Amino acid sequence: MSFKSLSSYIGILLIFSLSSCHLSTKKDDISKTQAPRIINIINFIRQTDYRIENSDSLLYQTVEEQLNLINRYNLPATFLLQYDALIKPEYQQLLKSQLNQQSEIGGWFEITQPQVEDAGLEWRGEHSWVSHANIAFSTGYTKDEREKLVDVYMEKFKEIFGEYPKSMGSWYIDAHTLNYMYEKYGIIASCNCKDQIGTDGYTLWGGYWNQAYYPSKLNGYMPAQSQEQQIPVPVFRMLGSDPIYQYDDGLGNDRQGVISLEPVYTQAGKNRAWVHYFFNAIVDQPCLAFNYAQAGQENSFTWDAMKDGLEMQIPIIDSLQRTQKVQVLTLAETGKWFKEKFSITPATAVTVLNDIRNENNKTVWFNSRYYRANLLWKNQDFSFRDIHLFDERFKSQYVDKPGESSQFFFYTLPMVDGYMWSTPEDRAGMQIVQHSASGEKKVVRLNPPTITEPDTKTLVVTCTDVENHSFKMTFTESDFEITCDTNDKDFRWSLDLHTASSELPFKEIEGQNIMADFQGFKYVIRCLDGKPEISGDCALRISPVQNRIKIDCTNNR
C-alpha cells in the first residue's frame, strides 16, 4: 500500500511444483473441507489520485486490465469502489458490462470530497481525496457524521447496482461505523490493513495476524472474546505479509517497509520465487481452522507498475485452484462461510519452515480470540518474538470522538513486543535460558521444530536443544505452555524477556500474576504453572515448576 520501495535483499529461489491436472473446485466444497485455504482477489478502485499525473485515465485503464486478467482465467474477484469511483458512469458501465458473474462489487470506505458534500458535511482536504487519517477514514468524524457518510454511500450504491453491498473494506473502519453498516445495511464481510507501524501514517500493531476475526464493539481492531460484545462481521487482514520478514522491516526508522503479496514490490509480490515461498506457507503448512491470503492491488499503483506481478500471480492462483489446493472466493462468499462455520473467532496458525533468503530462519504464528504469539528461529537462536493479548474491553480512542491527527494508531496488549521494544542492534524477545549451579546463564539453542495439530484449536511445537533436552510448546485458545523433558536432574531453565526498552507495561508481581498497564488499561498475565519475577538481569523471568510453564492469556476471564 506504500509507494516506497522495499530495501533489497539476497533471495534464493524456492519453487514448489504445481500439478498440471485440471480439476475444478466448487465453492460449495468449502463447507466440506476441514481446514480450507482461501484466496480473495480484492482490487479496490479510486477515481482519482493527486499524486499521479493523468490519474483519472491511468486508474481507469488499470481496472480495465485487472478485469481482463480476471476474466481470462474466469476467476472470482472482489472489486471495491471508493465513492468517487462509484458515482462515475464510466466505472458503473465498465463493471456492469465486463465483470464476470462469479465476481462481486462492494465498497471501499475511504472518504472523498463528493461523499462528504453529498452527506451535507464540509470537506477539509486539500484535494478531492487525501490519505490523512482524520479526513480519509471514518475515525476522523463524529458518530453522527459517520452514519451520514455510510447512508450516502449505501443509498448511492443501491441506486446504481440495485442492492446494498455485502462487503465493505478500508485500511481501517472504526467499530461504530462497522456495526452501523451491519445493523442497518446487513454487510457480511469486511477487510482491513495488515499489521504495520507508520506506513503511510497508519499504525495497526499487535492484532490478529492474517486470517480473520470478529471485532469488539468498542474497538474494530481488537478481537472480541464473547458473542455478546463482538460485531458479527468477520474482518479479513489484507495484503499478505511475509511471515518472517515483514515484522522487523524498517526497524530503527519512522515507518516499516512493505514485504507483501502486493504485485508491485520487486522483492516480494512481483518476485516469482517469493510468491511460491508465500503460497507454500499458506497452502501446505499447518494452519488449524483455515488459512487465508488476499491478492490483488489498489488501482492507484497503475497498471504499468503491477502488470508483471499480477500477470505472474494470477496463473499461479488459478493452478492452485485447479489442483484443489486453494479455493478462490469473493470476500462476501468468504464472510458468509466464516459466519456459518464460526460463532466466535477461531484459532489459526501460519507456519514458515522454508526461508526465502536462505538464512535458515523459521517462524510460527498462532492466533486465537485471546492472544497471538510468534515464534522465531534464527538458525538455532530461538525466541518468542511477539506475544500480544486481546481484550474486548480495551476501548479504541476513536470510538466516541474523532481523531484529529493525520495518522491513526491501534494497538493490543503487549507481553512481548519484538519491534517496539527493540533497536536494530538490540532485538527484544523472550528466550529459553539455561542456569548453571554457579549462577551463570546461557541462551538455549533449539533445533528446527516439528509442528502438529492434535485438533482444530491446538497447535503443538516440539524441538530439541543442542544438548538433546526436549521442549514442547502447546498453544490453545486461552493459554500456552512450555514443558521440558530431560533426564538431566541438574538442568535448570527459565523464560527470560530481554528488551532494549525501559518503558514496559509490567508494574508488579502478585503471587503468580504479572500485573500490567498499557495506555491506562490494566491487565493480568497469569502463570498457571511457573513463577514470575521482575529480575535485575532481564525485564521479566518466568521459572518453571516441575519443568512446566503455563500462561493464561484470558485476562481474568
Greatest C-alpha distance within the chain: 78
The Cβ of residue 241 has, within 10 Å, a number of other Cβ atoms equal to 26
**Alpha-carbon torsion, ordered 179, 183, 184, 188, to 10 deg:** 80
Query: Is residue 556 over pLDDT 80?
Result: no
Residues 316, 308: Cα–Cα separation, whole Å: 13
pLDDT of 26 > 70? The answer is no
- Cell numbers representing residue 513 in the block: 500474576
pLDDT digits (tens, 9 = 90+) for 443-495: 999 999 999 999 999 999 999 998 889 999 999 999 999 999 988 888 999 99
Across the range 121-126, mean pLDDT stands at: 94
The DSSP output letter for 176 is H
Angle (CA) 110 116 119, round 5°: 125
H/E/C letters for each residue in 205-232? ECCCCCCEECEECCEEEEECCCCCCECC
Q: What is the mean pLDDT of the chain?
A: 91
Residue 83: closest CA among 148, 142, 178:
148
pLDDT in tens, 41-55: 999 999 999 999 898
* Between 63 and 17, the higher pLDDT residue: 63
Output the CA angle 66-332-137, nearest 5 degrees. Answer: 75
Output DSSP code: residue 494.
E
Determine contact, residues 551/384, Cβ cutoff 8 Å: no
Tell me the per-residue pLDDT of 169-182, one tens digit each, with 9 for 90 and over. Answer: 999 999 999 999 99
C-alpha–C-alpha distance, residues 528 and 523, integer Å: 16
537 band by pLDDT with thresholds 50, 70 and 90: confident
The closest of 395, 343, 390, 350 to 370, measured between CA atoms, is 390
Model pLDDT for residues 279-310, shown as the tens digit of each residue: 999 999 999 999 999 999 999 999 999 999 99
User: Average pLDDT, stretch 518-534?
Assistant: 95
pLDDT of residue 555: 85
C-alpha triplet 505, 506, 511: angle, nearest 5°: 155
**Hunting for cell 517462524 — which residue is that?**
363
pTM of the model: 0.91
Residues 6+ apart with CB under 8 A from 458: 288, 347, 474, 475, 476
As a whole-number percent, the residues of the chain with pLDDT over 90 amount to 83
CB 6 within 8 A of CB 256: no
369: nearest Cα among 261, 486, 234 = 234
pLDDT band at residue 30 using 50, 70 and 90 as cut-offs: low
* Cβ-based neighbours of 102, under 8 Å, separated by 6 or more: 74, 75, 76, 330
Contacts 24+ apart (CB under 8 A), 503-508: 504/421, 504/539, 504/540, 505/413, 505/414, 506/534, 506/539, 506/540, 508/534
Domains of the chain: 27-352 (3.20.20.510), 370-394+411-552 (no CATH)
**Angle in degrees, CA 166, 46, 298, rounded to 5:** 80
C-beta separation of 334 from 31 below 8 A: no
Query: What pLDDT is attached to residue 232?
Result: 97
pLDDT at 192: 97
Cα angle 255, 261, 263 (rounded to 5 degrees) comes to 100
Q: Which amino acid is at 377?
A: W
Does residue 13 carry a pLDDT above 60?
Answer: no
Rounded Cα gap, residues 132 and 250, in angstroms? 21
d(CA 34, CA 18): 22
| pLDDT class of 33 with cuts at 50, 70, 90 | low
Q: How many CA atoms lie within 13 A of 328 on its CB side?
A: 26
Using the predicted structure, report yes or no on whether residue 10 has a pLDDT greater than 70: no
Please state, in angstroms and rounded to a whole number, the distance separating the CA atoms of residues 456 and 452: 11
pLDDT tens digits, one per residue of 347-398: 999 999 999 999 999 999 999 999 999 999 998 899 999 999 999 999 999 9
- DSSP symbols for 60-119: HHHHHHHHHHHHHHT---EEEE-HHHHT-HHHHHHHHHHS-TT-EEEEE----HHHHHHT
Q: For 172-231, what is each residue's pLDDT tens digit? A: 999 999 999 999 999 999 999 999 998 888 999 999 999 999 999 999 999 999 999 999
Is the pLDDT at 7 greater than 60? The verdict is no
Q: Hey, how many other C-beta atoms are within 10 angstroms of the C-beta on 503?
A: 7
